[in-house]
Structure formats: structure tokens, C-alpha cells
Amino acid sequence: MLEVKNLKKRFRLDNKTIKENKKKPKASLDVREDGHWFNAVQDVSFQCDSGEVLGLLGPNGAGKTTSLRMLSTALQPTQGQIVINGDDVVAEPLAMRKRIGFLSGTTSLYHRLTVRENVQYFGRLHGMDEAALEKETQAVFDLLDIHSFADKKADSLSTGMKQRANIARTVIHKPEVIVLDEPTTGLDVISAKTIMDFIDSYRGGKVPIIFSTHHLHEVEKLCDRVVLINDGITQFSGTLDEFKAQSPDGNLYDVFVSLVGDKEVA
């Protein structure tokens, strides 16, 4: 189980931005501008049980990536708690990192290695023995439909194949929590569907899986829980049914728009 409580992250602004902001009318600034600081994530809380799929929604710049980077220990929170199966992620980031599988926009592969070599390299870095590595490689390649290109070099792959290989690399060590930042963005229909089926395969299992997306149909199809962030604040956290119940006809788009106000919908 993953629990996130009152997460905050503020970034120090560079001098040029501070100077420029001083010249602008206050009303034109992002509500999160705060002198020398930018409060990218102001107050984010949610939880996700084992076997649940949680969809993280929000307009561009809402704070989704910043929140996911904190969950995965890539960024230290300014404040707040992140707990995985009773253990404190913020207090023990290095120990906890091994227990989390994080796909970010910058997760990548060694170009000259094959997919299999890449994935197994990361498995060995996590201390997996060869028998476990073989077994898990097979299982993950099945789930992500990778076998047909498993022995191709990474630099010869399509964008969709690369993303599937990146996900394989992210989960090869059987993490306790899986965090995927916009896993289907920019992908063709078949690769996106393969990744959605992969996420779906975790439902009802032992691992909470969290992914951010701008695609409401993915949320409708896959998610048990929905969290919507706006201006770095949790606007909604609950089940998919509770989210849908906010609109008379259960239309996700209408609920999203009603919660984020007149902000441009991504």
C-alpha cells in the first residue's frame, strides 16, 4: 500500500525569473509564485492499495511529474510523508528506491545493447540472480509483447517498442510499487494498448500501480482510483465511481473541467 500525505515541493527561482516576475502585475502570475520560490506542489495527498490502479490527472503544469518524482525518490519533498507498506520513503530514500519502479520521461536504454541485455543489466544492478532474472524476463516480455524484438539493439527500435522496453527495465526487479509518468504519450494505438493491458494485468495483484495521463479514456478503462491535481493541490482523490458521480451522466471530461475550472484542458 502507498500513502502520500500533504506532500509539498517548492523550487528556488533563478534570478532572471525573479526579476521578470517583479515587473509583472500580480494577477498575471501563477498562484504558486511566492517571491523567490515557486510552490510547484502545495498539498497533495492520496493512497493506493495493493492491486489498485490509480490514475493521476491534471492540466499541464499541475504538479503531476513533480509529485511522481517525489514518490520515486528522484526529488526530495519540501514537506510531507510518503509511506510504502509501512516504510517511510522520505526518511530512507536510498533503501526505498530499490522497492519502487519508476518510469519517467527521461528513462532510457543503452543504444548499443539489445532489449534483453538492457533489461537484464538493470535486473543485475538490482541484485537479481540469473535464475530469477531469466524467469522474470520471460514474464515481463510476455506481458509487454516484447519477444519479437527482444534481441534487437535499442537504437533500431520504434518509439513504441522503446517505451515497452523502458517499462520492462522499470519493473524487472519486481518493485513493490510501480509509478509510470505518462507511459502512453506519443505512442501509436497498438503500443499504447499493449501498455494499457500491461497496467491492467496488475489489477487485483500485490502491487499498487500509479500512472499519470492526459487521456481520460485510459482512466475510464483502467483505474480503480483517480487523483486530480490542480495548481499543486489535490482537487479530488477517490474511486473512479466517486469521480464519475460528480457529473449527472458520469462523463469524465465534464468532471475534469468542473474541477479544474476554466484552465485550458490538455
Ligand X SMILES: Nc1ncnc2c1ncn2[C@@H]1O[C@H](COP(=O)(O)OP(=O)(O)OP(=O)(O)O)[C@@H](O)[C@H]1O
Q: Is 213 in the site for ligand X (CB under 6 A)?
A: no
**71 binding ligand X? (CB under 6 A):** no
Binding part of the chain for ligand X, among 61-69, 193-201, 234-242, 250-258 by CB under 6 A, reads 61-69
Contact criterion met (CB below 8 Å) for 154 and 111: yes
Stretch binding ligand X (CB under 6 A), from 57-65, 92-100, 144-152, 160-168: 57-65
11 sits near ligand X (criterion: CB under 6 A): yes
Separation CA 218–CA 202 (nearest Å): 15
- Applying CB under 6 A, does 38 fall inside the site for ligand X? yes
Of the candidate residues 5, 50, 51, 61, the single one contacting ligand X (CB under 6 A)? 61
Q: Which is nearer to ligand X, 182 or 224 (CB)?
A: 182
Q: Does 226 bind ligand X (CB under 6 A)?
A: no
What is d(CA 172, CA 162) in angstroms, rounded to the nearest whole number?
Answer: 15
Cα gap 49→58, rounded to integer Å: 21
Does position 108 interact with ligand X (CB under 6 A)? The reply is: no
Does position 185 interact with ligand X (CB under 6 A)? The reply is: no
Q: What is the full DSSP assignment across 20-69?
A: HHHHS-GGGS-TTEETTEEEEEEEEEEEE-TT-EEEEE--TTSSHHHHHH
Scanning the chain, the segments in alpha helix (DSSP H) are 15-23, 64-71, 93-97, 115-125, 130-143, 159-171, 189-200, 216-222, 240-244, 252-260
Closest Cα partner for 44 from 266, 228, 255?
228
CA dihedral 114, 161, 194, 52 (to 10 degrees): 70
If binding is defined by CB under 6 A, does position 51 make contact with ligand X? no
Residue 55 is a binding residue for ligand X (CB under 6 A):
no
Q: Does 76 bind ligand X (CB under 6 A)?
A: no
Residue in 48, 52, 53, 66 binding ligand X, rule: CB under 6 A: 66
46 or 149: CB nearest ligand X: 46
How many residues touch ligand X under the rule CB under 6 A: the total is 11
> Is 32 or 244 the residue whose CB approaches ligand X more closely?
32
Q: Would you count residue 63 as binding ligand X (CB under 6 A)? A: yes
Binding site for ligand X (CB under 6 A): 11, 38, 40, 58, 60-66
